[in-house]
Structure 1
Amino acid sequence: MPAGKSQYRKGEYPTFEDYSIYAQRVVLNGEFVQHSHDFDEIVLILSGTGEHLVGQRVYSLKRGDVFVIKGETRHGFRGAENLELVNVMYDPRILLSGEGDLRAVAGFAYLFLVQPAIAQQEEYPYAVFLDEDATETASTLCGFLIRQLEDCAGQYQVAVQYGFKTLAAYLANHYRTREDLSEKLGIFTRAVQYLQYNAARPIKLQEVAEAAAVSQRHLERVFFEVCGLSPMAYLLELRLRHASLLLRGTSKTVAEIAGECGFEDPSYFARVFKRKYGAPPNQCRNAKAL
């Protein structure tokens, strides 16, 4: 009988309420059913063998393999034999909150935005991994974070946030890919990093193309081929996703959230939000509504 269940929620984990993070080191054997969750997750493979099922894709696992899994992506394991791994489960808002903006880290866009969106595609060849030295360091950082969470009683907010962001920044700076990124994916990643970092202000297509070092026409072609959206439509999706996270996790007004997410007109924000989620922002404070 496979272990696990089809869906996990952050309320099941004891430190999520105080820290928006939970981390654990586990050993799997056999099958762990594909599932989704209402948080994002970093998976670091430490030892053992097995396969990781991510959407339609199956990955044969090795020490040092790294995955960032978005909450809506179904994933699981099969054929696991003493498969030791670290799960770091987190609310994605924590990546962009507090001190230390991870969007400025060189590898952030690919590891935390691009790779999670396309790693479930069957033809995706750019699996992420760490070399042996980086794996050992990442394991140590995970151990520090786990100990802080185990010892906490609500008073270690700074240490936990620091531990998580140090780990995330280290992974973004030290990962490698099984194959060199194609020119197309490199262009897409540079553009996504620029969009993510500047999403709170007005952005023109020309400046995104300049950041990606291509023409506007070529940039639009790359975006349609990779994600099926134009660069500006992708930016709108980024802004709406950030807005939905703020609605679920803060008490800010709709107008404040609109401004923080790059919408100059709150009325326009309300219209596009309703078009995306089926209800206006002020009715979507409940996480289950989004």
Structure 2
Amino acid sequence: MNLSMAVRSLQRGANLCEGKDLSIRVHYWGADRKHVDTPLHKHSFFEICYVVDGSGLYFENGQDFLLEKGTFFCSRPNQLHKIYEGKNLYLLWAAFEIEKENTSREQQLLFEELANEQNVYLPNSENEPAVLLWKTLMKHAEQQSSSEVLKAISLSLMLSLQALFCGVRDHQKPRPFYDNKEQMIEKAQRFIQDNLAQPLSLNEVARFFHISPRHLSRLFSEITGMSYTSYVRQERVREASKKIRSTNRSITSIAYECGFTSVHYFCRVFLQETSITPAEYRRRNQV
């Protein structure tokens, strides 16, 4: 199978899947026969993966899970996780969230249940209907089937995955492909915003997106008009400003929560970015 062609087809034709009282935004689809290790990170959305072949480890919440053929695993929103020690790790994955404004409360509750599901690891699942749906979807995508077909199968897959994970109690997770530079930077910006407490070095983020640090740096300058380092610093200060305004947490705690290595460095950067100290900013702006 031509994985690159299939994923590109899905990125274009199945990025918004809508059904009765349900709308799911798929941020990205992925498939890689030799998935590389990832740094510790988190997302503000779901990411569900299926192991087609190979082996590796998945880490979440202080626990390691063995990845081998036939395993599903789910990275829930805002949960730190990583994939490592991969050996010929062949993965399929999808990152998505529901669009609440176009989704009924009943359907929202299904995915809230998934977000709170503690069993994120399902080995020996190669005979589950979700596997057949995913493989069928990939085949249709490779054959350049219509967007209507891709969206219909994708929606069925998402509902099947939700039922698979949340039904465990009753019976008993790239190469990313990007159509353009703007899409690449949009994904990188969201990753940065979701992981401000992490170091976010240029090399580490570039490795996560499977591009060179030099290329990522060049794209940031070209698309945003600012350097990668400046953008990360700006986002850290933006998030810190929000926390200073809306919480009573100490300046020191906020500094570390937003990824600054010391409160002294945080105060210096905050002053450079806003022309005011964090303490004075709080006095003027706290809700």
TM-score (norm 1): 0.40
Structure ranking higher on relative contact order (CA contacts 8 Å, 6+ apart):
2
TM-score (norm 2): 0.41
